[in-house]
Amino acid sequence: MDNIALDLGFIQIYWYSIFIFLGVFFASLVIMIESKKQKLNQDFMINLIFYSVIFGLIGARLYFVLFNLNYYSKYPLEILEVWNGGLAIHGGIIFGLATVIIYCHKYKVPIVKVLDIAALGFVLGQAIGRWGNFFNQEVYGGVTTLPHLKELGIPEFIANNMYIKGEYRIPLFLYESIWNFAGFIALLIVKRYKYLKSGQLTGVYLIWYSVGRFVLEGLRDKEFSLMLGNIRVAQILSLVLIVVGILFIILCRRGPRFDNLFKEEAKEIRF
C-alpha cells in the first residue's frame, strides 16, 4: 500500500500526516464542545489547544529522537521528516500536560478541570491517529498467517497490508485504536456520574490508556519500541502513569461530596 495520499509534484501529502491531522481536529472539536458546556472562555481554549498541539508534537518527536539518537546524529535532517513516522505518544503526553499546566496557571484556570476536558479529546485523537501507522506499516506484533487474521475477523484490506518483510504480522495499531475508541466511550459514560470530581476523569484516562499500552507494548515488534537495554520504555512509563492515575482518583475525591464536582461551571476567564 502506498503511504502517499496525494502527490502534487512539488509536495507530497502522506496518509500518516492526514490521520495525525484528523486526530488533532476531532480531539480539538470534542474539547471545544465540552469546554463550552463547562462555560470556559472559548478564546482561552482555542489558544490552549493551539499551544498544546504545537508543543505536544514537538515533545512527541523529541522523545522519539532522543531514544534513537545514534541514528539521528548521523542523519540530522531526517529529524524534520515526521511524515515518515516517529512520534512517541508519551512525549506528546508529557509536553502537552506541561503546556496545559503552565497555561492554566498563567490565567488562573482550574487545571484539573481542563485536564479532564482534554482527556476526552485526547483519547479520541489517539484512536484516530493510530491509523497513520497502518499506512506506514508500523506498530505491529509478531508473525502470524493470513488465515489466522481472517479468523480473528480482521477486515481483508487491513490483513493484506499486514504482509510486512515477507510475513503477515499482528495489527497492533488496530488493537490500540479500538482500545482507545472504547476508552473514549468509557470516559463519556464516567463523566455522567453526578458525583464525579474534577481530576478523576483524568485519572480514569491515564489508567485506561496505560493498561492497554502496557499489554500491547509487550506484543510489539522491538523495531518499533523504544528500549533501555532489554526494557521497553513505554511499559515503564505506563506503570508510572497508572500510579499517577490512581493518585488522581484518590486525591481528587477528598473534601465534601458536593465540592469541586466535574459538572460545576467554571468561572468565566477574563483577558
Per-residue pLDDT tens over the stretch 33-89: 999 988 899 999 999 999 999 999 999 888 888 877 888 888 888 888 777 767 888
Residue 90: inside a domain: yes
- What pLDDT shows up at residue 235? 93
**Total domain count, the chain:** 1
Residue 223: inside a domain: no
With a pLDDT cut of 70, the percent of the chain lying above it is: 94
Question: What range defines the domain where residue 43 resides?
Answer: 4-185
Residue 240: inside a domain: no
CA distance 248 to 45: 23
42 or 262, which is more confident? 42
- What pLDDT shows up at residue 266? 46
Q: Order of strands across the sheet with 143-144?
A: 143-144, 167-169, 163-164
Residue 92: inside a domain: yes
Average pLDDT estimate for 236-246: 95
Grid cell listed for 236: 515503564
Q: Compute, in degrees rounded to 10, the torsion defined by CA atoms 183, 184, 186, 191.
A: 140
Residue 149: inside a domain: yes
Residue 206: inside a domain: no
Residue 18: inside a domain: yes
With a pLDDT cut of 90, the percent of the chain lying above it is: 58
The per-residue pLDDT for range 181-218, each reduced to its tens digit, is: 999 999 999 999 988 999 999 999 999 999 999 999 99
Residue 270: inside a domain: no
CA-nearest of 97, 120, 99 to 262 is 120
Q: Is the pLDDT of residue 271 over 50?
A: no
